[in-house]
Amino acid sequence: NAGVTQTPKFQVLKTGQSMTLQCAQDMNHEYMSWYRQDPGMGLRLIHYSVGAGITDQGEVPNGYNVSRSTTEDFPLRLLSAAPSQTSVYFCASSLFTGTDEQYFGPGTRLTVT
Amino acid sequence: GQQVMQIPQYQHVQEGEDFTTYCNSSTTLSNIQWYKQRPGGHPVFLIQLVKSGEVKKQKRLTFQFGEAKKNSSLHITATQTTDVGTYFCAGPGEGSNYKLTFGKGTLLTVNP
């Protein structure tokens, strides 16, 4: 099993550009989520999904969209990038809920100039 | 909203010394998880505690969940250079099992 994979590993965007961060898991997990990690801020939940077709907002959802058309994939879309979105983004998955053991992907380091 | 606080923010120790990080929640938690993130890496699950007063050990690591289920601690005995990293606690969001709230973490560095 590859576990949780994320692409790209690194990305530089200009302010106003849009892009999609990809996340996939091959463990048949129902729950998937996106976090951002900023220095000294820990991990903050952006959006999560409890199954295909079901998504909800986390702690810091503004400026981000998600969809979940399959169990395996959970892409994160930045609609119009801003310098405040410079961060490291982690995708995670677990069997059913946020309180199950979370499996994290390797992360995407995003810089917005 | 719910807050999960960790102290200290940083800890530097000599190899062989003990280390403890503390986690406190503003609300009662149904369970608490601990994760380790190596520098440049991603968080990796260590353990989950569920019962009031629970104590679990993993080799040199000892995890405790408080009697009131509002605090937890991670203690490492005789640190090694392989223990370097940031340790996070995380608990379910208030009234929700679908949102995990992380503390800001404790960065441990070990001098060989």
- The nearest CA of chain A is from the CA of B70 a distance in Å of 16
pLDDT band, very low/low/confident/very high, at B1 (cuts 50, 70, 90): low
Q: What is the pLDDT of residues B32-88, one digit of tens each?
A: 999 999 999 999 999 999 999 999 999 999 999 999 999 999 999 999 999 999 999
> CA of A69, closest CA in chain B: separation in Å?
19
Measure CB to CB from residue A42 to each of B33, B92, B102 and give the nearest one.
B102
User: What count of other Cβ atoms lies within 10 Å of the Cβ of residue A8?
Assistant: 11
Burial A51-90 (b: 16+ CB within 10 A, else e): ebeebeebbbbeebebebeebbebbbebeebeeebbbbbb
pLDDT for residue B93 is more than 90: no
Task: Identify residues of A whose CB sits under 8 angstroms from chain B CBs.
Answer: 31, 33, 35, 40-45, 48, 50, 56, 58-59, 90, 92, 97-99, 101-107
Nearest chain B residue to A51 by CA: give it: B98
Q: Does the pLDDT value for residue B98 go beyond 90?
A: no
H or E stretch covering A110: strand A108-112
Of B30, B42, B97, which is closest to A106 when you measure between CB atoms?
B42
For residue A93, name the pLDDT band (cuts at 50, 70, 90).
very high
Query: What are the structure tokens assigned to B33, written together?
Result: 């998880």
User: What is the pLDDT at residue B13?
Assistant: 98
Question: What is the mean predicted confidence (pLDDT) over B21-31?
Answer: 94
What's residue A41's pLDDT?
85
Candidate from A58, A103, A106 with C-beta closest to B99:
A58
Q: What is the mean pLDDT of residues A29-46?
A: 94
Which chain A residues are Cβ-neighbours of B33 within 8 angstroms? 99, 101-102
pLDDT in tens, A46-92: 999 999 999 999 999 999 999 999 999 999 999 999 999 999 999 99
Q: Are B33 and B48 in contact (CB under 8 A)?
A: yes
Task: State the pLDDT confidence band at B97, using cuts at 50, 70 and 90.
Answer: confident
Q: Distance between the two ends of chain B, CA-based, in angstroms?
A: 41
What is the model's pLDDT at position B3? 86
Question: Which stretches of chain B are assigned E, i.e. beta strand?
Answer: 4-7, 10-14, 19-25, 32-37, 43-49, 55-58, 61-65, 71-76, 85-92, 100-102, 106-111
Chain A residues touching residue B43 (CB < 8 angstroms): 43, 90, 92, 102, 104
Which residues share a beta bridge with B34?
B47, B89
Asked whether residue A1 carries a pLDDT value surpassing 90, the answer given is: no
- Output A97 or B71, whichever has higher pLDDT: B71
Q: A98 contacts in B (CB within 8 Å)?
A: 92-93, 96-100
Token pair 């530097």 in the structure block, residue: B12
Q: CA of B42, closest CA in chain A: separation in Å? A: 5
